[in-house]
Amino acid sequence: MIPRYTLPEMANVFSDVARFDRYLEIELLATEAHAAIGIVPEADAAACRANAPTVDDEFVQAVSDREAVTDHDVAAFVDVVQSAIGAPAGAWIHYGLTSSDVVDTAWCWMMRDACDQLIAASTELLRTLVLLAREHRDTVMIGRTHGIHAEPTTFGAKVALWALQVDRDRTRLMAARDTVGVCKLSGAVGTYSNIDPAIEAHVATALGLRAVPATQVIARDRHAEFLYACASVGATMELVAVELRHLQRTELSEVQEGFKPGQKGSSAMPHKRNPISAETISGLSRVLRGNLQAGLQDVALWHERDISHSSVERIVLPDSALLAYYVLRRMNRLLQGLQVFPERMLANLQSSFGLVFSQPVLLGLVQAGMSRDEAYRIVQDNAGRSWDERRSFRELLDADPRVTVPAAVLDDAFDLQRSVRYAGRGVDVLDSLRVG
């Protein structure tokens, strides 16, 4: 991932140093487990731990240099580690293991830790959304369907639905964490032919992972579930971002992203304050969806393994974690600085001459004894005239001799507070969420 969208805490999970450090710990734990069952001399296992190299940039470079000879990254890693530990103890490193035992266990360990950060970021965003929804529980605005004025709603109700979706994403991340929090150290083709199952159990316990049956590789539907959870986060963030982009359009001006001192919205037009955060989030969500497609294609491997998945995962697993984390953090920052303009929301609602009350008018006429079709035509005729002539919908209804209901019926139909009297129910549901 390019540095622009990389936050250090998530980058540290997938860095080369962190990855090789995980490899080393897996190897050392396996060696110690072999000593515990009497295969490796205890003194040699202790020497492996005591003389293990420090994994740093110099170590990473040494592995890279060795890979130029071996043309195999794990073999190069093992060579460098064994050389650093020295003979005879170093010879026990990687005993009974195949490359995928180390690599797949490390990937799952990394994805589990990535999920922890994504869950924490989701919870932080959820707190922001809950506060925003409660603040605007009664902030009335127009609800739009197909981009057209429909009926009144509240900004709080809108934000509450975003919060509930973020909570569902958090649940998906928790499920993905459980799915990927596994390991395998069962050797070539996964039959434990050259390694005792006790070794796998020891490593699993030490790392807080769960040993699972596997071929030579852990089944890739697990990795695809992780990618889906990341893509789902992206889809939710885009849902919010697209709505905010629409609400920031000049013609609406109902909300606005924060604009810090010294910021420039355009290199050419000094007046511009563009929705750059929301647009960035929309764009990055497309990458997350594309990565999911690649991950799904990795599920079907040949027989007990091939490596067609390997090159893909080196890109899509860290990139998806980094991007999902980035859009969660970027959205949280956007919403914490979001400016909301209730007066503009109300003015926009009122700009369609009262047409947003057409349904309660229709229902009032039906309740008064008129057939639904007849009532619909009367309301539709007056609504059309109201829009075409830019006249008050209520005044046209009052002047229509076909409308014989008492004025109180229309008063009730045009009562804005009646329309939104239950809109806060979605906000109230947020009280049940765990937001820390």
Count CB atoms within 10 A of the CB of residue 70. Answer: 14
The one-letter amino acid code at 263 reads Q
Q: Closest Cα to residue 152, out of 2, 355, 429, 291? A: 355
- Burial level of 80, CB count in 10 A (0-12/13-18/19+)? buried
* pLDDT tens column, 367-413: 999 999 999 999 999 999 999 999 999 999 999 999 999 999 999 99
pLDDT at 271: 87
Q: For residue 36, what pLDDT is reported?
A: 97
- CA 287 to CA 326: how far, in whole Å? 12
Please identify which of the residues 146, 271, 303, 432 carries the catalytic annotation: 146
Q: Residue 213 — φ and ψ, nearest 5°? A: -65, 145
Amino acid identity, position 270: P
Q: What whole-number distance in Å separates Cα of residue 326 and Cα of residue 338?
A: 18
- What is the C-alpha to C-alpha distance for residues 377 and 191, in angstroms, rounded to an integer? 74
pLDDT of residue 9: 97
What pLDDT score was predicted for residue 330? 97
Q: Is 266 a catalytic residue?
A: yes
Residue with tokens 């540290």: 12
Q: Give residues with Cβ within 8 angstroms of 282, minimum separation 6.
A: 238, 241, 242, 245
- Report the alpha-carbon distance of residue 221 to residue 198 in Å, rounded: 26
Strands (E), 229-338: 255-256
For residue 111, the model assigns a pLDDT of: 98
Catalytic hit among 64, 193, 266, 311? 266
Q: Is 94 one of the annotated active-site residues of the chain?
A: no
pLDDT of residue 268: 84
pTM exceeding the 0.85 threshold for the entire prediction: yes
Q: Residue 77 has what pLDDT?
A: 97
Q: Nearest-CA neighbor of 285 among 2, 5, 8?
A: 5
User: In the numeric block, which tokens belong to residue 395?
Assistant: 């005044």
Answer whether 355's CB lies under 8 Å from 393's CB.
yes
Q: Phi and psi of 142, rounded to 5°? A: -85, 135
Per-residue pLDDT at 325:
98
In three-state form (DSSP H/G/I as H, E/B as E, the rest C), the secondary structure along 289-302 is HHHHHHHHHCCCCC
Could you give the residue ranges of the DSSP H alpha helices within 51-98? Answer: 57-70, 73-85
- Domains of the chain, start order: 1-95 (1.10.275.10), 100-257+269-351 (1.20.200.10), 355-413 (1.10.40.30)
CA 83 vs CA 45, 97, 317, 319: distances in Å: 15, 18, 31, 33
Report the alpha-carbon distance of residue 77 to residue 82 in Å, rounded: 9
- Indicate the DSSP class of residue 382: H
Ranges of residues in the chain whose predicted pLDDT is under 50:
none
> Which two tokens mark 257?
């992203």
Instruction: Write out pLDDT tens, residues 336-362.
Output: 999 999 999 999 999 999 999 999 999
